[in-house]
Structure 1
Amino acid sequence: MTLHLARLPIDLPALARAAGERGWTRGSRATFDEGRALHHLLGETFGPGVLQPFRLIVAPRARTGTLWAYTEANAATLLETAKMVALSEAAEAALPLSRLATKTLPDVAAPGRRLGFDIRLRPVVRLASDIETPADRNKGRRHGFKAGAEIDAFLATALRNPDRNAMGDTDRSRETVYAAWLADRLAGAAEIEDIRLASFRRRLAARGDGRGVEGPDAILHGTLTVREPDAFRDRLRRGVGRHKAFGFGMLLLRPPGRPVPRS
């Protein structure tokens, strides 16, 4: 499998107009979700999942961003497919295909290879059992979250460890919880050497029925070591974690950091 890294500038106002044309912002808690809009437009233009996983990077207050994505198709193949597709004026403005570029990635998945990474995640877990919140207990209600609910991994840890002071411990900080969440999903493919939480916010994400679903939006930077080449290639191609179709889970590779001293 040959993997390509694709780059495409995105016009954000045009993307919002294209989302409005298709009714992707309707609903009682509707929100303009760039990830959802790109998921649909990229699928309509190049085929479902062809540019996936992807990551939209936007500078503060900018009206344009840059889409990065992994794909098995090169630019010529992608553009050939796009020629057959009828797009609205807003969609064409949002995706200026004349500026699409790809480059072939070298095979970096050698055992012991150290790589820097930058990844945007929605670190959520599905509950195997009900969790009661302190507020529910105080008000005599039965449950805070039922089994099967998808919630923030840090919130799940906090609710299972209700002592507030305990969550201030280094072993249970948000950064540590998210680092462990990522390490679990890279297990067998790569080992994390060092990691930091570069940014975090809670954000509404619009999904198929138009509702806004709140959840964590975290960016982690760090260095990893490849352990199993085939498994690592699979993580690169498929992405990491849930919501990969909406702009999460793409392992952007960077130069590795300095080795961490071993005590």
Structure 2
Amino acid sequence: MHQLNFCEYNRSNHDYDTIFRPAGSGDYLFLQFKSPMKVYTEDRIVITKENACILYTPGMPQHYQAVQKFRNSYLHFSSDENPARCFPMPENTVFYPENAMQIDSLISRLQQEYFSGLPHREEAVHALMTLLFLSISRRLTQETAQKEEAGLLYPLFQSLRLEMLTECEKDWDLERLCRRVNLEKSQFYMYYRSFFSSTPKNDLLHARLEKAKNLLSNEALQVKEVAQLCGFGSQAHFTRYFKSCCGCAPGAYARQPRM
């Protein structure tokens, strides 16, 4: 059973304020930092970003200081079992769950329930705290699984991208790319953007443009031939794209004197 001893939602202290409890607070403390904090541990100082969280276990020193503005939400509570063991999540270390808005909402609801004085308040608080820890644990588990999947997929994407850019004249339609890594279109786009901060279309067009510029500079080729050799569907499409990127038509670019 989780018993809430005290809680605050969006609590503000004086700027640069410090909390230092060498022997802890005697109970569990869950914090969501709403402003950057310096968190002191045994061997280092962590400067957090907004919405960083930490779960202090009983007896663990609690030492943190606002970088400037001091604002946080927190729960002091007792429990029959360590919630970090029941719902796997870090303890006594800063972490960043991506469901920050959900955590914020649940702490707000906990504060309302804690001060409500309504019948079955303890049961409602226990249920909300269980939901809080469960949601954090699930999200962290999902994030870990996604990172592991990304680690396995990155070499495949890297190899595929290199092949696409090296052989940019080929027809690299999206279906073909997705089949090569066995992913749906939405998943493929998500990972490609995550890995390369771009899209396949943008990378492919850039590679084709660079190849076209090289051919126009060094080969006695017609514009139509260059367009075909670089994988453009038509000379008109090639000319429009080349002019928008380079400021002149392909033929004019080819006639420019070279150093």
When the two structures are superposed, what TM-score results if normalisation uses the length of structure 2? 0.25
Could you say which structure has the higher helix fraction? 2
When the two structures are superposed, what TM-score results if normalisation uses the length of structure 1? 0.25
Could you say which structure has the higher strand fraction? 1
Larger radius of gyration between Structure 1 and Structure 2? 2
